[in-house]
Structure 1
């Protein structure tokens, strides 16, 4: 257990362990995913050198001239890729005080006809800084490594839920939604808002968070906020809304937030989110009776409806978090839905 009370599991116990180790991992994962919904994870395949390199490059990126970063503004991308300045993302109607660089899978844009659903616009190319070409292979390496780790975790979760081990394989095959967010949180005075990121649930399935050295991530559990500080050799892992829906709340996507560091400091993190293919709508799971009786139902918030279809659920979060992109590229969607963009969003770490 970590000092904060969050468990520490080793994914290698499931991937390469004995039958006893695999069973113990699945049992611990089920208990944690049903309970606090957050844990520290070792053995995901990233070396300390990989993490050091990506954070060093992240610092170089955020130190680029503002004009270089603004040339990559997310507002240029209908796919929600690129740079966002401090205060450019919204959670619970308040500005998040961080600058960030969003990267998805390296795939071409889908052909979208006039009658096609708007979520098809989410796939498309990334924007990369010409002044820092080393950033692209570093981020894509992290993305590929954590995607592989996530596929193993999905198999462990399937077993934990009393399902066939390969229950989720098809939905995550070929073109799952991969999303990396490289983030810098500037320090703020105590007299200012401390919202690095406001309290939210993640809208996909699985989330991994790499933290450099500065704490700030907090998890809401049993009525209080628990710190989840960096622990060398681990990533933080948590569940998204989709798995809460599919299990009728046996699994719970947990509220979490990031508190701004003190003035004169900053915090770097890298969050990775994996969701099924954009067109996937996962079926509700029939849990074994001993688990079904523990299902708590899906948390209902009229300001933040949960949707089982991947593309629809992800688009909901993007539109509410990035109003500049929404207004530029999704005005037709906003016109149909009404504005409705002031409630809590499914933001990211």
Structure 2
């Protein structure tokens, strides 16, 4: 999930994303894991965006995800609207074009299907956490959930790597990750040669959560480097893309900074599969105390992970905005508006 928030540019003027082989994070030897984590951390500091190989997600699961998603989105709109996200109890389902607005008046040119952790215990249900709304489409649940579970396991490995990179105990983050509101989005960017050149697939933003694991099928993604330049992100065979989000920026006390990114008008049909990796719902997101200078005050206001995600979602999706306006739903106490999390906004000369 995304915020329209930019960041001060502490990143390097990179011209391409760094690539890190993280297979060492799976090693039994802590020394090997630490060495790999240092490479992961350096890439996060330099760019906030990186390619990752050696991630351990089987290609068969990736192929199943892409094939099943493509077939689902090829259905008529009426069939997909039977799975409309507004019919769900925990924000899961089909998202038609125009449902989301990150900047008032701006419509992203995409459709999506959102699934989450698929928590089956009704008594533990929260606004962004519960049983998924699975369509009746043949094979959808089996293929999508298989990829989700594998990508979630990868996210736990990355949480451990980022902890080591920050000089923390390896489980400093994973102790707060058991049933997280981590959302997988199946996003379809249709190709429309007649669409205006400046009509985005998705506008410039940073992601709310700790980090994102992105699997794209075609180019189109651009990221903002430390010189204020938009850099293309081509596909790298066998790699997924990782980017730092707002919450990891806060947890790391700004050691890792979230990077603004966008999808411009696509030159071909494109699918993208981001898993937005979060901590458990009630986790308080604030800098890890050992990362603060002695006696220093945090520049970040603590937020509850799940409530922050819920508040941002309430202010983004049309069906939830209507329920807010009617009084059926209310923002959590202390909820922040859109584009208000983390550091300050991107300077005007760097905005798209």
Q: TM-score, structure 1 length as denominator?
A: 0.83
> Matches of 1:221 and 1:313 in 2, distance apart?
27
> Matches of 2:307 and 2:245 in 1, distance apart?
14
Residue 89 of structure 1: SS of its match in structure 2?
coil
RMSD: 3.0
After TM superposition, give the deviation of residue 192 of structure 1 in Å.
5.2
8 A contact 1:91–1:199 mirrored in 2: no
- CA 1:266 to 1:298, structure 2 compared with 1: closer, same or farther past 3 Å? farther
> Matches of 1:288 and 1:135 in 2, distance apart?
43
- Report the more deviating stretch, 44-53 or 219-228: 44-53
8 A contact 1:219–1:228 mirrored in 2: yes
The correspondence of residues 74-85 of structure 1 with structure 2, limited to 5 A, is 74-85=85-96
2:40 alignment partner in structure 1: 29
- Where does the alignment leave 5 or more consecutive residues of structure 1 unmatched? 113-118, 300-305
Residue 29 of structure 1: SS of its match in structure 2?
helix
1:302 alignment partner in structure 2: none
> Matches of 2:146 and 2:272 in 1, distance apart?
16
2:350 alignment partner in structure 1: none
How many residues align structurally?
Answer: 322
1:142 has 2:137 as partner: no
> Matches of 1:298 and 1:71 in 2, distance apart?
45
1:187 has 2:191 as partner: yes
1:67 has 2:72 as partner: no
Q: TM-score, structure 2 length as denominator?
A: 0.82
After TM superposition, give the deviation of residue 166 of structure 1 in Å.
1.3
8 A contact 1:247–1:287 mirrored in 2: no
After TM superposition, give the deviation of residue 18 of structure 1 in Å.
5.4
> Matches of 2:131 and 2:174 in 1, distance apart?
25
Residue 182 of structure 2: SS of its match in structure 1?
strand
Q: Deviations over 1:228-261 (max 9, x none)?
A: 1221101100121111112221111111111121
> Matches of 1:339 and 1:42 in 2, distance apart?
37
Residue 127 of structure 2: SS of its match in structure 1?
helix
- Report the more deviating stretch, 325-334 or 85-94: 325-334
- CA 1:287 to 1:37, structure 2 compared with 1: closer, same or farther past 3 Å? farther
1:311 has 2:306 as partner: yes
1:207 has 2:212 as partner: yes
1:10 alignment partner in structure 2: 21
1:127 has 2:127 as partner: no
After TM superposition, give the deviation of residue 266 of structure 1 in Å.
1.1
Residue 269 of structure 1 is aligned with which of 268, 272, 289?
A: 272
After TM superposition, give the deviation of residue 17 of structure 1 in Å.
7.1
8 A contact 2:181–2:306 mirrored in 1: no
The correspondence of residues 1-349 of structure 1 with structure 2, limited to 5 A, is 5-16=16-27, 21-93=32-104, 94-108=106-120, 110-111=122-123, 120-130=126-136, 132-173=137-178, 175-188=179-192, 189=194, 191=196, 193-212=198-217, 214-222=218-226, 223-262=228-267, 265-287=268-290, 308-328=303-323, 331-334=327-330, 343-344=338-339
